[in-house]
Amino acid sequence: MADFQSYSYDVLVIGAGGAGLRAAIEAAASGVKVGVVCKSLLGKAHTVMAEGGVAAALANVDDRDNWRVHFADTMRGGQYLNNWRMAELHAKEAPERVKELEAWGALFDRTKDGRILQRNFGGHRYPRLAHVGDRTGLEMIRTLQDHGIHTGMEVHMECTVLTLLLDGGRIAGAFGYNREKGNFILWSAKAVIIATGGIGRAFKITSNSWEYTGDGHALAYRAGAELLDMEFVQFHPTGMVWPISVRGILVTEGVRGEGGVLRNSEGRRFMFDDIPENYKSQTADTEEEGWRYTQGDKNARRPPELLTRDHVARCINREVKAGRGSPHGGVFLDIAWIKERLPNGADHIKRKLPSMYHQFKQLAEIDITQVPMEVGPTTHYMMGGVLVDGDSQASTVPGLYAAGEAAAGLHGANRLGGNSLSDLIVFGQRAGKYAAEYARNSAAAAIDDGQVNAAIATALSPLENSAAGENPYQIQYELQDFMQDLVGIVRTEEEMERALVSIEKLKTRAVRAGVPNTRHYNNGWHTAMDVPNMLDVSEAITRAALLRKESRGAQFREDYPDKDAEWGKYNIVIHRGSNGEMVVEKRPLRPMPEELKQVIEEMK
């Protein structure tokens, strides 16, 4: 018998960002035994990076807001491929979840009458984002963390799951290792919640940290779960482009929400030149109207900078390609100009966007209260993920749940800013509740030594290959390079076919990955074990993107540049075939109930 530590839980949560922590809190509160595994230290997950805010129709700033408007905005943003049940639950429950954070100690910015302040954001009709300056994610994760540590959950920091264990068809637990010593760990669990976040590290330019290698997506896929909407990768329009070492780091949409404007090298506000038909009635006609909107004028419509992220990212891409970009290959994002309109404009910027001010000051030696920033698209968010039931977040594998970015459905073809933080707490809560319920009604599952031993053998092979093997960092870099070039913001069949060939080649090389032979906090070894997940996810993205022969939301096909109404009736679902091959298929959307259709009609 191989050497490993063992733990046993009712519910095991993989991931300790907003969704994982919220799920763990909910499950623990219901009285079951909860374990949390996180790849980093507690409180460092990517939720901490979220800046702009959490979307919830609290109607504190504009009393015309309610769940129906939020639902319609989310569906419009997702180009109607969303799981409408999730969009409905999300819009209805987000306000409660946000208020709950306040009861746990979160301190949001306030309105004049002392309630939670809300700000404008792309694709949201009314000011809807509860926020704390531009560090809302930090506030949220710290609140959940500080509340969670007193609920009895056990946290396994700096541990990574390598495989999910199955008993017949159902979940039996997970197997992985800790980073510190490189020891193996078996977590038996009646139910497992995947809350591992995104996949950004499969691309070269990304706002995501090293952790986001699509672990949850790959674990679920290999355990037999279905994946949904994998073609939809969100490229956030505004990442830093210079210096090169910070390329991709996020510049919050809050900059545009506070009045920041995009200009090309000719000084033109190019976003006014291309406003999609279905947003025309909601978009400002003049720069003046757009400015009034950002300052809270309820009769004004939003400036085109606040159109959905997919659209803004493509417009920026077009300007750069047409030779109208900024010196370092982006465009200009100017917030300094608001000094013309606001007395104390510089102080206002520092107060509303303190992290952005420091980020540019320290990393680029640029004072954003004086000069424009240079920004360009960055791989930011994965709309696709584990296919789940809208109510319970159950995957197609019994006992396996998913929430947050690793789950799919809520955002359809494109996510609205602010809808991610609310996604985490709404569906984290639901996943925790239903996984605990499942665990209470289930007997313990059996652990299969064969699965454990296979996982150990795979994990040890890079050490056995030793430093003479393939450098895992090099494999990762090559993958990131061609995914960025061939399956990025603009896609064609020919390029994606080439990407598939390259992925197959890298799979062969990944087997030969080798690192110096120590298990003791060996980053090279960790990377070697992450690479197979990135390869599976990259293949899924590419195959789904190839099958969808149209442009919609985050997917832009140069060879099929238009939206195709027929494709609007389908999602793409991926699962592992009986011979280990990736099966990609079209699946018709579930028909939407009349009352929801009506809501969408009313809000058009």
Partner 1 sequence: MATQALFRIWRGDANGGAFQDYKTPVEEGMVVLDAIHRVQAEQAPDLAVRWNCKAGKCGSCSAEINGMPKLMCMTRLSELNLDMPVIVEPMHAFPSIRDLVTDVSWNFRVKKTIRKFKPRAPDAPDGTWRMQQVDVDRVQEFRKCIECFLCQDVCHVLREHHKHEEFIGPRFFVYAAALQMHPLDTDDRIDDLKNKHNMGYCNITTCCRQVCPEFITITENAIIPLKERVVDKFFDPLKKLFRIL
- Nearer to partner 1 by Cβ, of 172 and 475: the residue is 475
Within a 13 Å sphere around the CA of 417, how many CA atoms are in the beta-carbon half? 40
Q: Which residues face 159 on adjacent strands?
A: 178
Distance CA 223, CA 553 (A): 29
> Under rule CB under 8 A, how many of the chain's residues touch partner 1?
64
Catalytic residue among 119, 217, 256, 309: 256
557 is catalytic: no
User: Closest separation between CB of residue 315 and partner 1, Å?
Assistant: 25
What is the number of other CB atoms lying within 10 angstroms of the CB of residue 363? Answer: 14
Q: Per CB under 8 A, which region of 36-44, 290-298, 311-319, 337-345 contacts partner 1? A: 36-44
Subset of residues 472 to 491 that bind partner 1, contact rule: CB under 8 A: 472-474, 477
Q: Which residues face 331 on adjacent strands?
A: 375
User: Closest separation between CB of residue 221 and partner 1, Å?
Assistant: 25
Chosen residue from 64, 110, 268, 505 binding partner 1 by CB under 8 A = 110
Q: What are phi and psi of 348, to 5 degrees?
A: -60, -45
Q: Is 98 exposed, middle or buried (0-12, 13-18, 19+ CB in 10 A)?
A: buried
DSSP secondary structure string for all residues of 121-132: -TT-SS--EE-S
Distance CA 278, CA 414 (A): 15
Q: Is 92 in the site for partner 1 (CB under 8 A)?
A: no
Subset of residues 298 to 357 that bind partner 1, contact rule: CB under 8 A: 355
- Nearer to partner 1 by Cβ, of 137 and 304: the residue is 137
Q: Is 518 in the site for partner 1 (CB under 8 A)?
A: yes
User: Closest separation between CB of residue 354 and partner 1, Å?
Assistant: 8
User: Closest separation between CB of residue 113 and partner 1, Å?
Assistant: 7
Q: Is 389 in the site for partner 1 (CB under 8 A)?
A: no
User: Is there a contact between 421 and 54 (Cβ–Cβ < 8 Å)?
Assistant: yes
What is the number of other CB atoms lying within 10 angstroms of the CB of residue 391? Answer: 13
Which residues, 6+ apart, have CB-to-CB distance to 340 below 8 Å?
none
Q: Per CB under 8 A, which region of 22-30, 384-392, 429-437, 465-473 contacts partner 1? A: 465-473
Q: Is 358 in the site for partner 1 (CB under 8 A)?
A: yes
575 is catalytic: no
3-state secondary structure of 11: strand
Rounded alpha-carbon distances, angstroms, from residue 92 to 55, 68, 99, 136: 11, 8, 13, 21
Q: Is 43 in the site for partner 1 (CB under 8 A)?
A: yes
Q: Is 109 in the site for partner 1 (CB under 8 A)?
A: yes
Q: Is 178 in the site for partner 1 (CB under 8 A)?
A: no
- Nearer to partner 1 by Cβ, of 331 and 475: the residue is 475
- Nearer to partner 1 by Cβ, of 6 and 523: the residue is 523
First to last CA, the chain: 63
What is the number of other CB atoms lying within 10 angstroms of the CB of residue 522? Answer: 17
Q: What are phi and psi of 216, to 5 degrees?
A: -65, -40
Q: Is 596 in the site for partner 1 (CB under 8 A)?
A: no
Q: Rg of the Cα trace of the chain?
A: 23
Q: Is 243 in the site for partner 1 (CB under 8 A)?
A: yes
Question: The tokens of 37 are what?
Answer: 């595994």
Question: The tokens of 253 are what?
Answer: 């949409």
What is the number of other CB atoms lying within 10 angstroms of the CB of residue 406? Answer: 30
Subset of residues 391 to 410 that bind partner 1, contact rule: CB under 8 A: none
- Nearer to partner 1 by Cβ, of 2 and 467: the residue is 467
Residue corresponding to tokens 């997919």 = 310
Distance CA 232, CA 417 (A): 15
Q: Is 267 in the site for partner 1 (CB under 8 A)?
A: no
Chosen residue from 133, 200, 384, 404 binding partner 1 by CB under 8 A = 133
DSSP secondary structure string for all residues of 39-53: SSSTT-SGGGG--S-
Chosen residue from 2, 149, 501, 583 binding partner 1 by CB under 8 A = 149
Distance CA 99, CA 140 (A): 12
User: Closest separation between CB of residue 508 and partner 1, Å?
Assistant: 20
Q: Per CB under 8 A, which region of 107-115, 371-379, 501-509, 582-590 contacts partner 1? A: 107-115
**Where along the sequence are the contacts to partner 1 (CB under 8 A)?**
40-44, 46, 48-49, 99, 102-105, 107, 109-110, 113-116, 132-133, 135, 138-139, 142, 146-147, 149-150, 155, 157, 180, 209-211, 242-246, 249-250, 355, 358-359, 362-364, 467, 471-474, 477, 515-516, 518, 520-525
What positions carry a catalytic annotation? 236, 256
